[in-house]
Amino acid sequence: MTTPRHTAETRARAGLVLTMLLWGSAYVTSKMIVREVPPDAAAVLRFGFGALVMVGILFFREGKPVPPRAAWPALLLQSALGVVGYNAFFFRGVKLAPASDAAMIIPTLSPVIAALAGMAFLREPVRPGRLGGLVLCVLGAALFFGETVQPGSDPARLRGDIFLVAAGVCWALSSLVSRRLLDRTTPFQAAGWSLLMGSTMLLSVSVPEMAAIRWAALSPMFWQVLAYLVVFPTVLAYIFWMGGIGTLGAGTATAFMFLSPFFGLLMSVGFLGERMTLVQMAGGAVIVLGLWLVNRPAPPLSPASGCEGVA
């Protein structure tokens, strides 16, 4: 007999798979919009509109939508890293490099850096399985991006990949800040206000770009893709993500991250016509395996031994 708890967990898992599909699609659709507007303008449009929707949801669903005063310094840092820094690098990177590179770098590098920082500075457990996953991620990255740094390779793609690496670092650092931030705020407070403050910061430095855009010349496809980016990968995906964490826990939810590169690569090939070599596909598979090991939840404590299990 199906219990309400089992039904809730099944829905949460389905929501997390959908979240990874939506986040994977964001690499492709972001590539589409930077074809028509500059990178900073693309970031402002996506996350500015997304922030307005998230803050609207926040005021509708929470009795106290404004975070306490003690949370604002961390919110400011989260906005600077996770919105301004991440998007400034991400949209520049995806303009120069293939969307498939973004799909591999961002969702794989960020958890690796966060895991290393957590073990080094936050006293998170150092497990053999986790260390093995980190090693696999490095080896897979060497395979996937080896062709990018070879003589005669496209220098624009290499610059784009460097921007994407910087974006992954910013996202990893912001995730570490968010762990402390969520001790003082609710997830929707943290998301709504950090998006709003971050997009305001982006707008303040992108006014010249925004003013130079010929808005009437933008194609109907641009506005359709932007609307999709705002509603689905930015707002709905975050709601599903928070629901998954609330039902299954952060450890289980994070394990679904290995699906994001898979979906991103598939859509880069299907919608943008990008191609990968067999070596790159092998490297991508190794990275995804390593990411799964990094995010694999630790086994429960053994009553007999009283110590943590080995992954």
HEC string for 112-176: HHHHHHHHHHCCCCCCHHHHHHHHHHHHHHHHHHHHHHCCCCCHHHHHHHHHHHHHHHHHHHHHH
**So what's the pLDDT on residue 310?**
30
Per-residue pLDDT reduced to its tens digit, 141-178: 778 777 666 666 788 988 999 999 999 899 888 877 87
Q: What share of the chain has pLDDT > 90, as a percent? A: 37
> Above 60 in pLDDT, residue 306?
no
Mean pLDDT of 177-198: 83
Residue 64 φ/ψ, nearest 5 degrees: -125, 85
Per-residue pLDDT reduced to its tens digit, 14-61: 988 899 899 999 999 999 999 999 999 999 999 999 999 999 988 988
Q: Are 147 and 153 in contact (CB under 8 A)?
A: yes
Per-residue pLDDT reduced to its tens digit, 84-141: 999 999 999 999 999 988 988 888 777 777 777 777 766 666 677 777 877 887 788 7
Where does 182-219 have alpha helices with state H? 187-205, 207-212
